[in-house]
């Protein structure tokens, strides 16, 4: 009886072990819910409607050469005012940088010379009146037989000379401002900005002073002088396209062309001056501003070109986003040859005719990388 009981216990133990094994096996075989596969980023329609794109094109390669330089007033549209009389300056109305109009009075000079011109005018007027009366009297006497024809001729000559003297006195006074109060008014001959001022109230003015008292320029276009070293002279040509940047306007590019080359080196700096003419309708460029100048140097080579706005710099190299249609964009590494303003020349990585994204590129690039 005891033997059967022990046998039963053993069978029960092995049955429990087998049941436990089956349970463990079932637990191992049970699988979790499958993880959803990651989805590729698609540009939303709302963003896609706002994007700008550029087509990869083949263009002549243009290299740039960088120079330093300075903004200067266009001296062809500039007027220097020199004193026409000697005297003392007073009532100077304008300051450096002020805008003035043609005919505007900039100041006055009290002058003994102007008083002398006024006196000469009065003398000439009095002399004319006297000679006129003498001429009329001589003609009356001649008609009465009391004067000879020679007397009439002499009176006529004196009158004609008096007319000429009066006209000369009037012209001299008009040239010097036509003021009869002993004052010379300094008037602006053109409209523009005061770019140089060498006069203050109380300044003694002399006509033999070689320095102008005012310099006026309209500044609607300006000159930029580039300093070209000898090694680059052969790469600069008249009419070359030029890009100019300044510290005052970071990121702003002013366009112009090479207008003149001074074919002589400065003996001190050993550079050749190259003149660039730039439109300046908003008066943003001002004389004496320092400038960074890039002059385009075209080469006889065709390469791929895209907008510079398409470039993304990350991990020490450049990328662009190629748009494949239907909201699909792909990150494409490129090798850059050169950048000129808003255009970048590509050595490899793209094909002609591809579309590249030029706005919100950083945003899309981050989404594609996430």
Q: What is the pLDDT of residues 309-323, one digit of tens each?
A: 999 999 899 999 999
- Per residue in 318-361, pLDDT (tens digit) is 999 999 999 999 999 999 988 877 889 999 999 999 999 999 99
Q: What is the mean pLDDT of residues 162-181?
A: 88
Please count the CA atoms within 13 angstroms of the CA of 45 that sit on its side-chain side: 0
Check whether 14 has a pLDDT greater than 90.
Answer: no
Alpha helices per DSSP H over the chain:
2-29, 45-48, 112-143, 149-175, 361-369
CATH 1.10.287 location in the chain: 113-181
What pLDDT, on the 0 to 100 scale, is given for residue 39? 60
CATH 2.40.420.20 location in the chain: 48-61+301-369
Of 1.10.3470, 3.40.190, 1.10.287, 3.40.50, the CATH number of 113-181 is: 1.10.287
Check whether 94 has a pLDDT greater than 70.
Answer: yes
DSSP count for the chain of H helices, then E strands = 5, 20
Structure token digits, residue 32: 């979790």
CATH of domain 48-61+301-369: 2.40.420.20
Q: For the ranges 127-131, 224-228, 296-300, which has the lowest average pLDDT?
A: 296-300
Burial degree of 39 (CB within 10 A; 0-12, 13-18, 19+): exposed
CATH 2.40.50.100 location in the chain: 86-111+184-217
What is the CATH architecture of 66-75+218-298? Beta Barrel (2.40)
What kind of fold does domain 86-111+184-217 have according to CATH?
A: OB fold (Dihydrolipoamide Acetyltransferase, E2P) (2.40.50)
Give backbone dihedrals phi and psi of 33, rounded to 5 degrees, phi first: -65, 135
* Alpha-carbon gap, residue 95 to 83, rounded angstroms: 18
CATH 2.40.30.170 location in the chain: 66-75+218-298
- Per residue in 224-265, pLDDT (tens digit) is 999 999 888 888 889 988 999 999 998 889 999 999 999 899
The neighbour count for residue 322, using CB atoms within 10 Å, is 21
In this structure, are residues 78 and 216 in contact, taking their beta carbons and an 8 Å threshold?
Answer: yes
The 8-class DSSP code of residue 309 comes to G
Check whether 36 has a pLDDT greater than 80.
Answer: no
């Amino acid at each position: 009886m005891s033997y059967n009981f022990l046998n039963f216990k053993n069978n029960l133990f092995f049955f429990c072990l087998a049941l436990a094994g089956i349970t463990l096996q079932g637990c191992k075989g049970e699988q979790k819910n499958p993880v959803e596969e990651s989805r590729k980023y698609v540009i939303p329609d709302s963003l896609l409607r706002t994007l700008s794109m550029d087509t990869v094109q083949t263009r002549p390669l243009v290299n740039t050469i960088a120079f330093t330089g300075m903004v200067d007033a266009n001296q062809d549209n500039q007027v220097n005012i020199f004193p026409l009389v000697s005297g003392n300056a007073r009532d100077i109305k304008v300051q450096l940088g002020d805008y003035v109009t043609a005919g505007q009075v900039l100041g006055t000079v009290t002058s003994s010379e102007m008083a002398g011109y006024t006196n000469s005018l009065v003398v000439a007027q009095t002399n004319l009146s006297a000679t006129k009366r003498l001429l009329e009297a001589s003609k009356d006497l001649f008609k009465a037989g009391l004067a000879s024809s020679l007397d009439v001729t002499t009176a006529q000559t004196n009158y004609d000379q008096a007319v000429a003297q009066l006209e000369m006195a009037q012209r001299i006074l008009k040239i010097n401002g036509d003021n009869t109060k002993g004052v010379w008014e300094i008037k602006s001959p053109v409209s523009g900005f005061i770019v140089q001022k060498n006069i203050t109230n109380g300044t003694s003015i002399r006509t033999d002073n070689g320095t102008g008292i005012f310099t006026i320029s309209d500044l609607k276009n300006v000159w930029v002088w580039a300093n070209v070293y000898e090694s680059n002279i052969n790469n600069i040509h008249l009419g070359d396209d030029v890009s100019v940047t300044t510290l005052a306007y970071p990121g702003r590019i002013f366009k112009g062309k090479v207008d003149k080359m001074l074919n002589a080196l400065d003996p001190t700096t050993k550079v050749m001056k190259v003149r660039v003419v730039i439109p300046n309708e908003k008066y943003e460029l001002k004389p004496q501003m320092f400038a960074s100048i890039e002059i385009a140097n075209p080469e006889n080579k065709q390469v791929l070109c895209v907008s510079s706005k398409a470039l993304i710099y990350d991990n020490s190299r450049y990328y662009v986003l190629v748009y494949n249609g239907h909201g699909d964009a792909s990150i494409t590494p490129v090798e850059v040859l050169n950048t000129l303003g808003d255009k970048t020349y590509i050595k490899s990585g793209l094909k002609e005719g591809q579309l590249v994204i030029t706005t919100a590129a950083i945003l899309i690039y981050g989404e594609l990388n996430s």
